[in-house]
């Protein structure tokens, strides 16, 4: 008897892929339709769910989207029918600390719920029992449990990340007693990072459950391969001082076991003398989310922006990589001596289509008026219209606007744009000049000098240009200051708080692909960022009480909505339809969906520029300035 083919009558790769569970055509189509433009353009407040008596710190949709679970500082978990706006079940948990995470265990009839809280405990409940008593309890963590993770491919397991620096792996098929004898420690960050290593978030790749990502109280996102790690026993640490190097250190030291991701301007290559800058000490990764197809990782960084990483691409941070020129090109000048504002032009003038030319013109007008957000958006739209080809001037103009705006990460984004402009046109003198200026602003002084010297070597007629002479003088002054600083402070190698492996992973961290700017993330360490729909949009909450929707591909803000009196922490998209659930400091949970276009918007924010400007200004203030201290009644951190 002939054996049955595992994929029916499929005879080619395309058909096999479309028949596999994780590449279901109907699912892809449904995901795209739920964020169709006509739906997203008309999102507004649908309903408020009232029932909690404390801040609502976490939301979770069931697999089928029929139930919304919410958990709060009041120690309750409430299950809701999101379509009738009714409570289905109110679970009073035994927690004695704020609940920070709630999860459904996948494919368990939506009856098994896991919670993690500030009392360092995790509980598992079967709501079918109707007695509010957990069927499993874990007290192995010794500090606050901040996030839980589950996987659709491991229906009996969940993972917990806590501020004790541990990731624990829980298997419900195995009995557990919290006596330190079970091998349930998957990751112990304390083995590599001395001091207060605190985990803030965790995520499992929905398509590759062996990939586990964590965020901590630093600037790095870490991606592990669970197949290469053997869980270990809990190692109790006294006073967080003497960290033992457990066998976990040897496990994770295996090649390919872990990758680090970090925005290029924050990583060690952009730190003078490999010393962590003061501002980086206040940053933390507050939330991680994989894209639906499992190829990207979204990281919301506290006191900074939202960054998107491609987990399959090793993108190194850009410092200085000038395009090579043939010997015949050396010494070529493409303009006369002139002021900095007119330093060099493109080798070839490219005539853009009328719509692109109009966007460029509008960007230039906004730039002249110091409306930097508008200018950057116009240049970005123009670049996307021409697919990034033959548009060196657009990249340079955007780099100019970014440097003048100077929000977190803007100067480094300008460095990246200057590199692209030079790749498109190696003779673009102004792009090389702007690159040298940006590197100086980033305190990469030696590279700035090399860049400027190479400009003069390649284009000798600019040697006496007033802008070049002034930049050369500025670089010389900064080099003198840097030599003085290095002479006064000689770091002791024995004071290095990181292991050799940790230092290597940091130095080889992978740069971001895209970033999303506009929100403010300084007051809580549980602020989320998620994919919405078929990866077409990004959503996140903000300290100003709003939640934001960005275009995933351009990074431009699509819309902003007022969703809380003080702070929005959670924004969770429905798995199948165009609906969002949000929560924060308020005790209410709010549902958002497309409303009638004829009905005036209740919550949509009109003054996007001023909202974004205020958020970015607040984010760059001194966190310890008493005039800007957090006044929120309910804090999550």
| 164 and 308 assigned to the same domain | yes
Burial classification of residue 47, based on how many CB atoms lie within 10 Å of its CB (0-12 exposed, 13-18 middle, 19 or more buried): middle
| 108 and 178 assigned to the same domain | yes
| 225 and 307 assigned to the same domain | yes
How many structural domains does the chain have? 2
| 379 and 258 assigned to the same domain | no
The answer to whether residue 58 sits within a structural domain is yes
User: What residues are paired with 223 via a beta bridge?
Assistant: 213, 259
- 8 A C-beta contact, residue 451 and residue 440: no
- H helix runs in 524-625, sequence order: 608-619
| 87 and 210 assigned to the same domain | yes
Boundary-marking domain end, from 445, 463, 488: 488
The answer to whether residue 628 sits within a structural domain is no
Can you spell out the DSSP letters for 343-367? ----SS--PPPHHHHHHHHHHHHHH
Looking at residue 494, its pLDDT comes to: 54
The answer to whether residue 631 sits within a structural domain is no
| 68 and 159 assigned to the same domain | yes
| 484 and 510 assigned to the same domain | no
Closest to 226 in 3D by CA, of 193, 247, 204: 204
Instruction: Give the tens place of pLDDT for each residue, 537-546.
Output: 999 999 999 9
Find the CATH number of the domain harbouring 219: 2.130.10.10
DSSP element (H, E) containing 72: strand 68-72
- 8 A C-beta contact, residue 463 and residue 343: no
Instruction: Give the tens place of pLDDT for each residue, 37-81.
Output: 889 999 999 999 999 999 999 999 999 999 999 999 999 999 999
Domain that holds residue 480: 354-488
Looking at residue 250, its pLDDT comes to: 52
The answer to whether residue 334 sits within a structural domain is no
| 448 and 397 assigned to the same domain | yes
The answer to whether residue 624 sits within a structural domain is no
Regions of the chain short of the pLDDT cut 70: 1-32, 194-195, 235-255, 268-280, 326-350, 489-498, 622-637
Distance separating alpha carbons of residues 293 and 589, to the nearest angstrom: 28
Looking at residue 331, its pLDDT comes to: 53
The answer to whether residue 19 sits within a structural domain is no
Task: Give the HSE-up count for residue 268: Cα atoms under 13 Å, Cβ half-sphere.
Answer: 16
The answer to whether residue 11 sits within a structural domain is no
Find the CATH number of the domain harbouring 451: 1.25.40.10
Distance separating alpha carbons of residues 175 and 95, to the nearest angstrom: 21
Closest to 308 in 3D by CA, of 546, 508, 553, 504: 553
């Amino acid at each position: 008897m002939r054996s049955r083919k595992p994929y029916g009558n499929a005879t080619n790769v395309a058909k096999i892929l479309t028949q596999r569970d994780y590449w279901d055509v109907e699912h892809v189509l449904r995901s795209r339709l739920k964020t169709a433009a006509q739906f997203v353009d008309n999102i507004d407040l649908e309903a408020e769910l009232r029932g909690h008596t404390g801040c609502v710190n976490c939301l979770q949709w069931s697999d089928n989207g029929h139930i919304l679970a919410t958990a709060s500082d009041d120690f309750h978990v409430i299950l809701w029918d999101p379509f009738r706006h009714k409570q289905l079940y109110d679970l009073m948990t035994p927690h004695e600390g704020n609940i920070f995470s709630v999860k459904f265990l996948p494919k368990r009839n939506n009856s098994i719920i896991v919670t993690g809280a500030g009392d360092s405990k995790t509980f598992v409940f079967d709501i079918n029992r109707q007695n509010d008593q957990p069927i499993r309890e874990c007290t192995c963590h010794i500090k606050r449990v901040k996030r839980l993770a589950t996987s659709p491919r491991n229906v009996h397991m969940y993972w917990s990340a806590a501020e004790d620096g541990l990731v624990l792996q829980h298997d419900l098929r195995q009995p557990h007693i919290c006596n330190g004898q079970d091998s349930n420690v998957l990751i112990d960050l304390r083995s590599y990072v001395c001091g207060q290593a605190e985990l803030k978030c965790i995520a499992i790749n929905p398509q590759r459950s062996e990939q586990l990502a964590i965020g901590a109280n630093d600037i790095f996102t870490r991606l592990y391969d669970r197949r290469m790690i053997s869980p270990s026993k809990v190692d109790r640490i006294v006073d967080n001082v003497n960290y033992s190097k457990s066998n976990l250190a040897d496990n994770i030291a295996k090649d390919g076991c872990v990758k680090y991701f970090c925005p290029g301007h924050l990583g060690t290559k952009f730190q003078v003398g490999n010393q962590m800058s003061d501002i980086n000490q206040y940053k933390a990764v507050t939330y991680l989310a994989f894209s639906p197809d499992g190829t990207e990782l979204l990281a919301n960084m506290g006191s900074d922006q939202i960054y998107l990483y491609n987990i399959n691409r090793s993108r190194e941070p850009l410092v200085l990589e000038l395009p090579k020129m043939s010997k015949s090109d050396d010494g070529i000048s493409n303009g006369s001596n002139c002021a900095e504002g007119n330093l060099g032009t493109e080798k070839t003038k490219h005539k853009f289509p009328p719509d692109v030319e109009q966007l460029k013109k509008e960007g230039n007008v906004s730039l002249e008026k110091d409306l930097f957000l508008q200018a950057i958006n116009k240049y970005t739209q123009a670049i996307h219209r021409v697919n990034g080809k033959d548009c060196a001037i657009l990249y340079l103009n955007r780099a100019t606007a970014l440097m003048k705006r100077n929000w977190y990460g803007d100067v480094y984004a300008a460095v990246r744009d200057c590199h692209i402009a030079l790749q498109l046109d190696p003779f673009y003198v102004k792009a090389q000049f702007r690159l040298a200026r940006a590197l100086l602003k980033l305190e990469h002084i030696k590279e700035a000098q090399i860049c400027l010297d190479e400009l003069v070597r390649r284009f000798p007629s600019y040697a006496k240009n007033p802008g070049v002479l002034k930049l050369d003088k500025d670089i010389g002054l900064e080099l003198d200051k840097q030599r003085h600083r290095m002479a006064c402070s000689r770091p002791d190698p024995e004071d290095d708080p990181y292991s050799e492996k940790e230092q290597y992973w940091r130095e080889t961290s992978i740069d971001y692909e895209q970033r999303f700017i506009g929100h403010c993330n300084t007051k809580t360490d549980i602020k989320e960022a998620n994919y919405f729909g078929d990866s077409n949009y990004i959503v996140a909450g903000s300290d100003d009480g709003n939640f934001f929707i960005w275009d995933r591909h351009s990074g431009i803000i699509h819309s902003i909505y007022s969703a809380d009196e003080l702070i929005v922490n959670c924004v969770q998209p429905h798995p199948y339809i165009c609906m969002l659930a949000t929560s924060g400091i308020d005790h209410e949970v709010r549902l958002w969906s497309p409303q009638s276009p004829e009905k005036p918007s209740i919550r949509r924010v009109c003054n996007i520029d001023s909202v974004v400007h205020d958020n970015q200004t607040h984010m760059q203030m001194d966190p310890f300035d008493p005039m800007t201290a957090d006044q929120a009644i309910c804090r999550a951190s």
